[in-house]
Amino acid sequence: MNLLDIPIIDQHAHNLVRSEVAVSRPYAAAFTEGYASEIINYHARHTLFYRRSLREIANFLNCEPQEEAILACRQSLGLEELTKLCFSAANLEAIFLDDGLQPDSILPISWHEKFLTVKRILRLELLAEQLIAKTDDFETFLENFINEIDPPPAGVVAFKSIACYRTGLDIKPVSFAAAACSFYDIKRQFEDRCPRLTDKYLIDFLLHQALLIADKYQLPVQFHTGYGDPDLDLQLANPLHLRSLLESPQYRHVPIVLLHASYPYMQAAGYLASVYPQVYLDFGLVVPFLSVAGMRSVVRQLLELTPTTKLMYSSDAHLIPELYYLGAKWGRQILAEVLEAAIRDSDLSVNEVDGIAAAILRDNAIALYRYS
């Protein structure tokens, strides 16, 4: 199977960072979720992902497979030309960007719109942090928070939560009084500075508010699940912790997208998608960050139970445009390999796989996000 002709909807990625920010960091920093200096300055260059990617990028840019040669080539192309090349080679129809990652370092959504169609994913915790800094009382803060997302701003196709990073996925019901108490504790600590929101009561309370609004507009809510940078507790990143939220009758019709294949909890994520109508999955970040064998195993495990109507492509690309290219290349290749294996196993027929590939790379996202 060759899936290059299917234009991809990349339903979860991040804005690229400005050139001067990118060159101030080691190139290998874009290839790891770690941020300890020993990791980004040494160990990150010794993963299978990095080794493979260096050769692929060199091949793509037509230079020697060494970091120095790639950096020189990037420099002479300039970010705009490099981005154009990567987006075009990835055959992307549209990208959905969570612009809440490193908001002070990124290029705006309008910059990316020079190359292709872009939709926005609104990161709830970042919005809350910005609004806490501007308000002294909880009632006004809550009113402002709700006003910002009801109705969702133009161009927003989903909400995104990083509760997983901050306090875990065991999201609980929280009273107004408990959330207010947390708000005033944060104000005492940060005054009018923008806080880093790490309070479980307030995060969970605001998430419940946002889910009610998502229900009203049938807007999908993306949850970071599974592995990520060491800010998160991987035990609390298991999507099985979402059970009480998934069982709540009032959120039963809110589409929930579990990002990153919930790695290493793929089978748990597949189970949730197979029994809860509102649960959808993607395999971004895992593809292209793992070894080839790892990527193949993840997509295969997701499809053990997940209906093919509920699985979507994403890259989780961030920082540099090469990750969009590598994500698309390996997303297509691994999907093709897994579907071919499913034919050999007699799980699928030859006639079925083309439609399934198009659904996973494009059509499921179009339907879920009502993209047009």
CB of 263 to Zn ion, least distance (A): 13
**By C-beta, is 99 or 316 nearer to Zn ion?**
316
Determine, following the binding rule CB under 5 A, whether residue 10 of this chain makes contact with Zn ion: no
**By C-beta, is 70 or 317 nearer to Zn ion?**
317
Neighbours of 126 (CB within 10 A): 18
Tell me the per-residue interface mask from 268 to 307 with Zn ion, x by CB under 5 A, - otherwise: ----------------------------------------
**By C-beta, is 10 or 316 nearer to Zn ion?**
316
**By C-beta, is 128 or 319 nearer to Zn ion?**
319
**By C-beta, is 98 or 199 nearer to Zn ion?**
98
Among the candidate windows 3-11, 30-38, 80-88, 314-322, which touches Zn ion by CB under 5 A? Answer: 314-322
Among the candidate windows 110-118, 127-135, 211-219, 309-317, which touches Zn ion by CB under 5 A? Answer: 309-317
CB of 368 to Zn ion, least distance (A): 17
Closest-by-Cβ residue to Zn ion is 316
**By C-beta, is 61 or 302 nearer to Zn ion?**
302
Neighbours of 72 (CB within 10 A): 14
Determine, following the binding rule CB under 5 A, whether residue 204 of this chain makes contact with Zn ion: no
**By C-beta, is 129 or 316 nearer to Zn ion?**
316
**By C-beta, is 15 or 278 nearer to Zn ion?**
15
Among the candidate windows 2-10, 109-117, 189-197, 312-320, which touches Zn ion by CB under 5 A? Answer: 312-320
Residues in the interface with Zn ion (CB under 5 A) total: 1
CB of 247 to Zn ion, least distance (A): 26
CB of 112 to Zn ion, least distance (A): 15
CB of 8 to Zn ion, least distance (A): 16
- Rounded CA gap, 41 and 31, in Å? 11
CB of 34 to Zn ion, least distance (A): 16
Neighbours of 163 (CB within 10 A): 24
Token pair 């959905």 in the structure block, residue: 96
CB of 143 to Zn ion, least distance (A): 29
CB of 119 to Zn ion, least distance (A): 15
Determine, following the binding rule CB under 5 A, whether residue 316 of this chain makes contact with Zn ion: yes
Among the candidate windows 50-58, 77-85, 198-206, 311-319, which touches Zn ion by CB under 5 A? Answer: 311-319
Write out the chain in H/E/C secondary structure: CCCCCCCEEEEEEECEECHHHHHCCCHHHHHCCCCCHHHHHCHHHHCHHHHHHHHHHHHHHCCCCCHHHHHHHHHHHCHHHHHHHHHHHHCEEEEEEECCCCCCCECCHHHHCCCCEEEEEEEHHHHHHHHHHHCCCHHHHHHHHHHHHCCCCCCEEEEEECHHHHCCCCCCCCCHHHHHHHHHHHHHHHCCCCCCCCCHHHHHHHHHHHHHHHHHHCCCEEECCCCCCCCCCHHHHCHHHHHHHHHCHHHCCCCEEECHHHCCCHHHHHHHHHHCCCEEEECEEHHHHCCHHHHHHHHHHHHHHCCHHHEECCCCCCECCHHHHHHHHHHHHHHHHHHHHHHHCCCCCHHHHHHHHHHHHHHHHHHHCCCC
Among the candidate windows 250-258, 288-296, 316-324, 345-353, which touches Zn ion by CB under 5 A? Answer: 316-324
CB of 316 to Zn ion, least distance (A): 4
CB of 96 to Zn ion, least distance (A): 10
**By C-beta, is 204 or 316 nearer to Zn ion?**
316
- With a CB cutoff of 8 Å and minimum separation 6, the contacts of 41 are 26, 28
* Subset of 238-267 contacting Zn ion (CB under 5 A): none
**By C-beta, is 125 or 316 nearer to Zn ion?**
316
Site of interaction with Zn ion (CB under 5 A): 316
